[in-house]
Each structure stands twice: as C-alpha cells, then as structure tokens.
Structure 1
C-alpha cells in the first residue's frame, strides 16, 4: 500500500511502515492519522506479527513543523488535533520496532518512544528539545520517556534539551539495538524477525500486560501537556525559542 507520504509493505510476518516526508519527516495530524490507521489495520492482518516504523531520508522525524503548515498558524488547534490521533497509537496491539536514523527530535522523539523497541546507529540523536523552544513537552513524552530511561535521565534530557547519541541511548535503554552504519533497517528487521518467530498470541498477551494502563496514562498526560503548552506558547520565551530554532541561532531567554 502506498500513499504520497506513507507506505506499507508486509513480508515474512513483518510490516514495514515508512513515513515519506524527507529529509526531516515533519508530521501533522494527517500523517500521524495515516500511521495510526495503517497500524491498526495491520492489527487485523494475520500476515503481520510485527511492525517496523521507519522513515525515508536523512532523519527519522523532526516532530511538528513550526515554520509551516498548521502549527505555524495556530499551535494550539494543531496540537489538539494531533494529540487526539497520537493517543490512538497506544491502542495498537501489534509490537512496533522503530528504526531511528539521524535525529528523533521533539515530537519525533515522542513518536519513537511510542514504539516497543528502538534501533539506532551511533550517529542517531535523540533530542527532547522542548525547553530549548520555550515550552512544555508533548506527544505523551511525560509518560513514555521516564518509562523507558527512568525519571532522572528523562529530567536531564527534558530540562537541558541536549542531544543523546546512539551509544548513550543504548546505555540508557532508549535504544535497544545499535546498528553499524548502513545496517539500520537490517538490524531492525532482525529484531522484528526474532519477535515474529515467537507465538503471536503469546507475544500480544505479554505486550498487553507490560503496557497495561499505558494508553490511559498517555491520554491523561496529553491533556496536561497541552494545557501547559497553551500557557507557554503565549510567552515571549516561546516565541524566541521557536524563532531561534527556525533561524538556526542560539535563543536568548528572559523568563517572560
């Protein structure tokens, strides 16, 4: 199956779900909605036991595009629509392996953290850059990131906005496998194939137990995240942070 910005191919029990908005693969409600719909459709496909979530181009996902599209005109309305669809990712019943190249930044980090596993390269960068843009984290990162790396490591990433490279991500368990250059998709497929070789009903049952209550916690977090974002998007610091990011310069925050 192929759309302009999403393709789905199933072989040997593994579905490759690929976002196609290179180089940064910015998302919006429409793209996340297509990802959700495709993944939930694969839940009912007996030929699919595992999903690989990947993207075309240099970077896995740079989150929302504050320089164009819906987010450029109305952050709040765009986020409300986006989060409504993003919450549905956590209702997907099939295990997901994210193949993360380049950067997974902001909401792109949130998308990677929605997966069960992440495969990265040494050159991969995971970035929770929200504070560097002057606003609160979103996309359920308040729940998923500390769930994966622990509260202290999540606080470090969120408050500094620093880049976490592939090797550190592996130590933090933010990455589950580290692929050699040029082998990201191959290693992701190897992991997916290992999962697909297990009894599928057992895998789904185990996954459901391990993720029990996660969808509900993420939905509650999304409401809180959006409420905080509404407040902070109205500040001068947020305007400065977003403008500085678009201009590729260092922001100067004043606490206003």
Structure 2
C-alpha cells in the first residue's frame, strides 16, 4: 500500500466492512475496502456503497463527498471470480440483480446535491472506471490508471459508462476506449479529459484533502444549484439555461451566504458560509 493511499484510507474507521464511511470537517470519505482484491465488487458491496452514499448525502454536516479505494487500487470492477461462479451455475438472476445494484448506485450519485469527487489512487477498471466517471470530477495519483475494460471478459459497459464517457471525451474517443478496452495511464487520462488533475504519489493525499477542504468551505447553496444547472445543460438549449441561471442566481442573491460572501470580500476576510 502506498503512503498516500494508506493516509486517505485512515480517514475511514478500520473495520471488516467492504465500504467504509467517515465524516470529518464537512467531508464524507467513502472508501472501497477490499484491498486484497483491488476493491473489486463482490457480495453486497454495491448495496453498501449505495447506502453509504445515501447516508452521506442526507447528513447535514456533509458538504462534499470523496470516493476512494483502500490499498493500491481504486476499484477494478466486478470480481471475476464471482462472475465465473455465476456463469458456471448459470445464475442469470443473481447477475441481473448485481447489474441493477450498479444502476442504483449511479442513480443515487446523480441525485446527490453535494459535489462528489473520485480520488483515484490506483487502477480503476470496468465498473470501477464507470464509478469514477459518474462522479462530478476526478483527481488522480500519477500511479492511477483507468479503463472501460468490460469487453476483455466478453461483457458490455454498465454503471452509466456509455452516458458519461462520450460527454467527457467525445463520441469518437469514447468508442475507441470502449472497443479497445485498454487501460489509460494517469497522464494520458488527464490529457484527454478523463482525469481533471493528476498529482504525484507523494503529494496525492495532501492535494485531495486540500481540494476537499476548499470545496467544503464553499457556499453549499451556490454549489448545489450550479451542479443542478450544469447537469441540465447536457440536454438543454441556451434559452432554457439562461432562464435556469437567472432563477438560481436570484435564489443565491437572496441567501445569507451571499450576504456573508459580499461582506467578507469588502472586509478583506475569509467568508464563513453556512448554507443559508
């Protein structure tokens, strides 16, 4: 386990749970916790992730959610040993339930009002890549990699990859990544828009914590409304977006946070936003 991954993992209470959740200073740290299997999904891990996201999203103290992986991996998708067992038994029913459990996770992520950040500390493959792509943005260690690798084992992309990937890199690049199933290293991923920031392994933990703290200090209402507006922009025209911006700008203008932000600017002091 790298020092940076170990440090981020320490934000979550040590336990045998496959998904860990801890809230500290406005940040919910969700850690996928099967380090011996590079955090591949097995058992009820998808349901545990769904529940952890729900608890974080409804916690009044949480202003930002960070998803990361324990050990040297972010998440390598479905555990192939589990898939092999299901296939050997012809258990379509359980496999379909697992597919739908992944859908539930992505739908919950899209409904979350707080910013959701993927801290990609190592390989993110298959459903692990899709999970990272479903976050609002992705920060990565230079040791990270990402790949939509489903067809390596004869499967189709899921967890919303066919929705998020073309929107991040364009249809042509998305087709190339899906059809080759190749893993992309951190620097190429940053260049083509899969990762938003890449940090050295030594700096990764500190930079993630710094970014999370900065987001947690931002005005929650303004971030929540901006997230909603950006999401709507993917399927809306200019007039609809101008109308949405105008309505939400007025909501922010009437908020206590706007009063605080303007007062702090005039008084040359840091603003203290309370989400009001």
Give the shorter-chain TM-score range.
0.7 to 0.9
Per-residue CA shift, 1:205-239, capped at 9, x if unaligned?
1111112398xxxxxxxxxxxxxxxxxxxxxxxxx
Equivalent residues, number: 214
Asked if 2 retains the 8 angstrom alpha-carbon contact of 1:65 and 1:71, the reply is no
**Shift in Å at residue 167 of structure 1?**
0.5
SS at match of 1:174: coil
Q: CA RMSD in A?
A: 2.2
Matched, 1:44 2:58: yes
Match of 2:132 in 1: 112
Asked if 1 retains the 8 angstrom alpha-carbon contact of 2:66 and 2:212, the reply is yes
Question: Structure 2-normalised TM-score?
Answer: 0.71
Paired residue for 2:122, among 93, 102, 111? Answer: 102
Match of 2:231 in 1: 211
In 2, Cα distance between the equivalents of 1:102 and 1:171?
17
Structure with the larger RCO, 1 or 2 (CA within 8 Å, 6+ apart): 1
Distance 1:84 1:163, change over 3 A: closer
In 2, Cα distance between the equivalents of 1:194 and 1:173?
22
**Shift in Å at residue 197 of structure 1?**
1.9
Asked if 1 retains the 8 angstrom alpha-carbon contact of 2:19 and 2:52, the reply is no
Matched, 1:18 2:37: no
Per-residue CA shift, 1:32-89, capped at 9, x if unaligned?
2222222222222222100110110121001111212775553543434423422333
**Shift in Å at residue 149 of structure 1?**
1.8
SS at match of 1:212: helix
Distance 1:84 1:123, change over 3 A: closer
Asked if 2 retains the 8 angstrom alpha-carbon contact of 1:64 and 1:71, the reply is no
Point out 4+ residue stretches in structure 1 off by more than 6 angstroms. Answer: none
Per-residue CA shift, 1:121-167, capped at 9, x if unaligned?
22211011122222321111000111122212211111111111110
Per-residue CA shift, 1:74-109, capped at 9, x if unaligned?
354343442342233322222111111221001110
In 2, Cα distance between the equivalents of 1:92 and 1:28?
24
Structure with greater Cα Rg? 2
**Shift in Å at residue 182 of structure 1?**
2.8
Paired residue for 1:82, among 101, 106, 124? Answer: 101
SS at match of 2:130: helix
Asked if 1 retains the 8 angstrom alpha-carbon contact of 2:46 and 2:102, the reply is no
In 2, Cα distance between the equivalents of 1:133 and 1:186?
36
Match of 1:198 in 2: 218
Point out where structure 2 has 5 or more consecutive residues left out of the alignment. 1-11, 235-276
SS at match of 2:31: strand
Matched, 1:146 2:166: yes
Point out where structure 1 has 5 or more consecutive residues left out of the alignment. 215-256
Asked if 2 retains the 8 angstrom alpha-carbon contact of 1:110 and 1:140, the reply is yes
Question: Structure 1-normalised TM-score?
Answer: 0.76
Paired residue for 2:69, among 39, 49, 55? Answer: 55
Of 68-77 and 86-95, deviating more is: 68-77
After TM superposition, the structure 1 = structure 2 runs for residues 139-178 of structure 1, keeping only pairs within 5 Å, are: 139-178=159-198
